[in-house]
Amino acid sequence: MTLLISALLGYLLGSIPFGLVLTRLAGLGDIRQIGSGNIGATNVLRTGNKPLAAATLLLDSGKGAIAALLALAWAGPEAAVFAAGGAMLGHSFPVWLGFKGGKGVATALGVLLAVSWPVGVIACATWLAMAFLFKISSLSALTALGLSPIFGWIFGGPLVAGLCLFIAALVAIRHSANIQRLLKGEEPKISFGKKKA
């Protein structure tokens, strides 16, 4: 029952659609009608509002981390893993939005930092390195999270590795359209300069 409650807590926190809330409060309309229609930070960046995109990134990461840390303090590492998994499901399939949510990358990095900070740091570093080299957000995320089960096993053991495997699979499913574009060489690139992404 403790694990179920932890997962539910994680789901409820994870399902808060910060990208949608922030863009509406900023008077930018419904983020689901902009760009890719995704509620995450990458699509918020397409509004041209970089501070709002950064805030979305931090809040989406933070909600996952908070869910895991609360469960950890309450019931221990196993509960934290279940809360982390719940947060991922909540962000990707929020009940408030008809189960149509984000792709889970920021939330994934947040929960990994909370559950096993070395794994989270390596995942973030891998994302940054791939983004710098190839300038493709989806490729960076898929690589970072695809490798995370290996580092999860090394630094956190089977429990953390299992969480990493779940996260990698979920993010890959949510990026199915991106994967198809990557295979065709049609995935758009991101920019670190002054121009819009």
Q: What whole-number distance in Å separates Cα of residue 164 and Cα of residue 88?
A: 11
| Distance from the Cα of residue 21 to its chain's centroid | 17
Q: Determine the pLDDT at residue 190.
A: 75
- Token output for 166: 């779940």
Q: What whole-number distance in Å separates Cα of residue 76 and Cα of residue 153?
A: 18
When mean pLDDT is compared across 24-33, 34-43, 72-81, the lowest value belongs to 34-43
pLDDT grade for 194, boundaries at 50, 70 and 90: very low
Give the number of other CB atoms < 10 A from CB of residue 2: 13
Can you give the chain as a three-state secondary structure string? CHHHHHHHHHHHHHCCCHHHHHHHHCCCCCHHHCCCCCCCHHHHHCCCCHHHHHHHHHHHHHHHHHHHHHHHHHHCHHHHHHHHHHHHHHHHCCHHHCCCCCCCHHHHHHHHHHHCHHHHHHHHHHHHHHHHHHCCHHHHHHHHHHHHHHHHHHHHCHHHHHHHHHHHHHHHHHCHHHHHHHHHCCCCCCCCCCCCC
Q: What tens digit of pLDDT does each residue of 166-181 get? A: 999 999 999 999 999 9
Give the number of other CB atoms < 10 A from CB of residue 161: 20
Q: What whole-number distance in Å separates Cα of residue 152 and Cα of residue 166?
A: 12
Distances (CA, A) of 147 to 88, 95, 117, 142, 172: 18, 30, 15, 8, 12
Q: What tens digit of pLDDT does each residue of 75-125 get? A: 999 999 999 999 999 999 999 999 999 999 999 999 999 999 999 999 999
